[in-house]
């Protein structure tokens, strides 16, 4: 790297750091954020005292709605191996069922790749037909996998998706040159 570029990069980083430092200082001033851990603790204690009844009611309502889940997790923390295994199996089974449900819907009623017919569980995934998957998930603030499958189900299975195996996704990505869509100002290949 030449010296001019190094100097410019150094100046840019300093300017960026100062701008963000100023922004967060203004934010804290506007919103009355506490600066030290002691101030933060005092603020939260004061809030709890002022809203004690409201907090108690919220806590009680939450416990009543989630009683079994709380008891199961409590047993797990105490080291009850049967409860621990049961909780783990429930979580894993639920995630697998959701994936099967979503991929079956987008596989036109079959749990298989719409291109080649591959039906092994670990090979299948959701594909954005228009090739903007990374941008879409970034826009939604989601990663892949379970969070995205839950979003699809919650939004009544929107159009624009299909079930593909990973091989077919890579072939599609290569043929359509989708690997360059997320890169600003350039393309590979």
Taking residues 69-74, what's their average pLDDT?
A: 81
* pLDDT mean over 154-172: 90
Q: Which residues of 14-41 are buried (b: 16+ CB within 10 A; e: fewer)?
A: eeeeeeeeeeeeeeeeeeeeeeeeeeee
> What is the rounded CA–CA span in Å between residue 189 and residue 176?
11
The structural domains of the chain, with segments of one domain joined by +, span: 69-180
Q: What's the pLDDT band for 164 if we cut at 50, 70, 90? A: very high
pLDDT digits (tens, 9 = 90+) for 16-61: 888 887 887 777 776 666 666 777 788 888 888 898 899 889 889 9
Residue-wise pLDDT for 102-133, tens only, equals: 999 999 888 899 989 888 888 888 988 888 88
pLDDT of residue 157 exceeding 70, the answer is yes
d(CA 96, CA 8): 50
């Amino acid at each position: 790297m030449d010296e001019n570029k190094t100097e410019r990069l150094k100046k840019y980083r300093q300017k960026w750091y100062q701008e963000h430092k100023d922004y967060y200082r203004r934010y804290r001033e506007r919103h009355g954020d506490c600066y030290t851990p002691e101030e933060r603790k005092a603020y939260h204690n004061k809030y709890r005292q002022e809203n004690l009844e409201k907090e108690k009611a919220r806590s009680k309502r939450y416990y009543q709605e989630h009683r079994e889940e709380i008891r199961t997790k409590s047993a797990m923390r105490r080291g009850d191996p049967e409860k621990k295994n049961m909780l783990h199996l429930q979580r894993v089974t639920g995630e697998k069922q959701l994936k099967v449900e979503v991929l079956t819907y987008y596989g036109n009623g079959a749990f298989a790749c719409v291109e080649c017919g591959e039906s092994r569980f670990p090979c299948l995934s959701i594909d954005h037909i228009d090739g903007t998957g990374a941008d879409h998930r970034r826009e939604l603030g989601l990663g892949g996998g379970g969070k995205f499958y839950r979003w699809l189900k919650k939004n009544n299975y929107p159009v624009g998706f299909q079930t593909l195996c990973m091989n077919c996704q890579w072939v599609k990505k290569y043929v359509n040159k989708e690997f360059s869509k997320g890169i600003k100002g350039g393309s590979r290949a």
